[in-house]
Amino acid sequence: MGFSALVASALCTFLLPLLLFLAAVKLWDLYCVSGRDPSCPLPLPPGTMGLPFFGETLQMVLQRRKFLQMKRKKYGFIYKTHLFGRPTVRVMGAENVRHILLGEHRLVSVQWPASVRTILGSGCLSNLHNGQHKHRKKVIMRAFSRDALQHYVPVIQEEVSACLERWLGAAEPCLLVYPEVKRLMFRIAMRILLGFQPRQANPDGEQQLVEAFEEMIRNLFSLPIDVPFSGLYRELKESATELLFGGHETTASAATSLVAFLGLHHDVLQKVRKELQVKGLLCSHNQEKQLDMEVLEQLKYTGCVIKETLRLSPPVPGGFRIALKTLELNGYQIPKGWNVIYSICDTHDVADLFTNKDEFNPDRFMSPSPEDSSRFSFIPFGGGLRSCVGKEFAKVLLKIFTVELARSCDWQLLNGPPTMKTGPIVYPVDNLPTKFIGFSGQI
């Protein structure tokens, strides 16, 4: 082969693909810029759109919190990106989030990624709009009235007590908290939300249900491509229920974070126990005392511990909307049809209302309650018309878990402070290995 042929071959092999790639990147940039609404004088938010078609989805899925922190540091409280096949603006900060959440049905509407809509189904509450959403939410709210919650308390207490008893009687000195708590919350959700009682005699069958459901959760946020080995290909839609997602996965995340924070802050745990002692809930002869809504509502400090846990480690990092029309936000335009993600975790991180933000300090919620003066600085359950329908159920469940844990167990985190990851729910990378022993009853 002559020299000219070699040059031509090299050009075809290396240069042509490079030129095609550069051309594709340029066309992608032009496509992203053309999304701007020329009728609005404001510019698009700062940011980058990533690779053609894929956008920045891969970086976000692989790096999660690191990727989001880098974006926030570089671009501030509002920036553009391209996620899950759609141009997207990510928003944080109390005022920005308030504008989005209070603009439901007027400025924005719910718009979860295609993978979420496909797996959960178009008829689930999170994907309904206007009158349909209002009617369905009203029906579901009956299951979370105060009277209904009172009926759930004995069931929750029974399951939590039995679970902690197994932890304390386990032969292995090291217990992985996160999978154990997920199994506990799954049992509670199955009994209360679906009216199904898992059989104690068939733990393998129960574990198969848990694993099937968790496979669905792992694939909620995946690339919108229906091909073998992608999340959308797996036939799990028939077992997917929105109530199980809200009542199992998110509460498991929060309960695991409670174990972690109380394990790292023994002084806080002791203050919880002092509150229980004042209410007559700590003495050994009252160890099995039945709880009820009236007693739970009196445990103010315990409630603040849960709030502080949700502030520092909200299970759900944010929510998805779509702009119904071009809207103006903080000096930028968000074009009609673009996705809008409001960030819960970042909004908590940047809230001016909280001092010493990285410190675990439940007393900050004692009085006055911060969310009363700026309710969009603290939004673990979202806000507006689409705030979490089961938030009161979650609060009761987490409070019972905290009470039973504090009056039954002492524990040690074997790996120290955990590294948290989002996928899509927040969880500890190491599953929180912990050693539990019985609580002596003395404080």
- Which tens digits make up the pLDDT trace of 377-411? 999 999 888 888 889 999 999 999 999 999 999 99
Query: Domain total for the chain?
Result: 1
Residues β-bridged to residue 81 = 88
Write the single-letter amino acid at 244: L
- Residue 75 belongs to a domain: no
- Residue 324 belongs to a domain: no
**CA neighbours within 13 Å on the CB side: how many for 196?**
9
Is the pTM here over 0.75, yes or no?
A: yes
- Residue 13 belongs to a domain: no
Helix, strand, coil % over all residues of the chain, rounded to 5: 55, 10, 35
The answer to whether 75 and 47 have CB atoms below 8 angstroms apart is yes
pLDDT at 239: 39
- Residue 333 belongs to a domain: no
The predicted-structure confidence for 62-96, as pLDDT tens digits, reads as follows 777 788 889 999 999 999 999 888 899 999 999 99
Q: What are phi and psi of 52, to 5 degrees?
A: -55, 135
Cβ burial, residue 280 (10 Å; 0-12/13-18/19+): exposed
pLDDT at 221: 46
Which residue spans within 226-304 are E strands per DSSP?
none
Q: What CATH number corresponds to the domain at position 202?
A: 1.10.630.10
Query: In the chain, which stretches have pLDDT less than 50?
Result: 201, 216, 219-234, 236-240, 285-286, 370-372
- Residue 352 belongs to a domain: no
The answer to whether 335 and 344 have CB atoms below 8 angstroms apart is no
- Residue 6 belongs to a domain: no
Supply the DSSP string of 30-41, one letter for each residue: HHHHHTS-TTS-
- Residue 429 belongs to a domain: yes
Distance CA 409, CA 417 (A): 19
Supply the DSSP string of 356-382, one letter for each residue: STTS--GGGGTSS-HHHH-GGG--TT-
Write the secondary structure of 151-198 as one string of H (helix), E (strand) and C (coil): HHHHHHHHHHHHHHHHHHCCCCCCEEHHHHHHHHHHHHHHHHCCCCCC
- Residue 285 belongs to a domain: yes
Domain that holds residue 208: 130-299+383-438
pLDDT at 282: 86
Backbone dihedral region of 197: left (phi > 0), alpha (psi from -120 to 50 degrees) or beta?
beta
Q: Tokens 């939410």 label which residue?
A: 137
The answer to whether 190 and 197 have CB atoms below 8 angstroms apart is yes
The answer to whether 148 and 131 have CB atoms below 8 angstroms apart is no
pLDDT at 114: 63
Q: Which helix (H) or strand (E) holds 96?
A: helix 94-101
